[in-house]
Amino acid sequence: MREFAADPPAEEQVGDALRETDATVATAESCTGGLIGSLLTDVPGSSDYFDRALCTYSYDAKMELVGVDRETLDSEGAVSAPVARQMAAGARDTAGTTWGVATTGIAGPSGGTPEKPVGTVFVGVAYRGEWGTGETTTTVERYEFDGTRLEIKERIARQALSDLLSAVERRRYRRTR
């Protein structure tokens, strides 16, 4: 599971960044099926910053566990930026963590369309700012990856960790300026 890992792997870098900023994270994972949480917990001491991984594979799980609107699922489909946004914010808010990360996509080998081919994923990253500061944010990025189902899942999980790391580092940089 380290075929696409950096050196040091993103899960270690994320762990260091979260620990240094006294932050916590929860995930809501659809197409990655808990892989992000698994990678994060591969790091010794991850209980310092990792709260939970919610596997929200079905529409019902997305609604029940992280509060995705039925209307959004109905109008946009599960593989969409609005759903990834709500999943990330829902993971953060239901867990009460500093950060929420979400993935929703098509790992294949089937299920793709011309608009959303196999390998399409939306990664959401949500930050909890202090009340009244207006700093609470959620961002979503769309990616497309090639490979087998397992390769796509690993690439998605590692991209989500990379997106989280970038967000944590940007937030840390703003606080030190």
The percent of residues above 90 in pLDDT, for the chain, comes to: 92
Query: Mean pLDDT across the chain, nearest whole number?
Result: 95
Q: What pLDDT was estimated at residue 92?
A: 98
Place of tokens 């995930």: 27
| Averaged pLDDT for residues 32-56 | 98
Read off the amino acid at residue 71: E
The tens digit of pLDDT for each residue in 125-148 reads 999 999 999 999 999 999 999 999
User: Is pLDDT larger for residue 32 or for residue 2?
Assistant: 32
- As a whole number of Å, the CA-based R_g of the chain is 15
User: Measured in Å, how far apart are the chain's first and last C-alpha atoms?
Assistant: 37
Q: Which two tokens stand for residue 32?
A: 């990655």
Q: How many CB atoms lie within 10 A of CB 4?
A: 16
Q: What pLDDT was estimated at residue 173?
A: 77
Distance CA 75, CA 78 (A): 9
Domains and CATH numbers, the chain: 10-176 (3.90.950.20)
Asked whether the predicted pLDDT for residue 2 surpasses 70, the reply is: no
Q: Is 144 helix (H, G, I), strand (E, B) or coil?
A: strand
Nearest to 40, CA basis, from 162, 146, 173, 129: 162
- Report which secondary-structure segment, H or E, holds 25: strand 25-29
User: Is pLDDT larger for residue 78 or for residue 177?
Assistant: 78
Residue 5: pLDDT band with limits 50, 70, 90: low
Asked whether the predicted pLDDT for residue 67 surpasses 70, the reply is: yes
Q: What pLDDT was estimated at residue 174?
A: 73
| Averaged pLDDT for residues 19-23 | 97
| Averaged pLDDT for residues 142-165 | 98
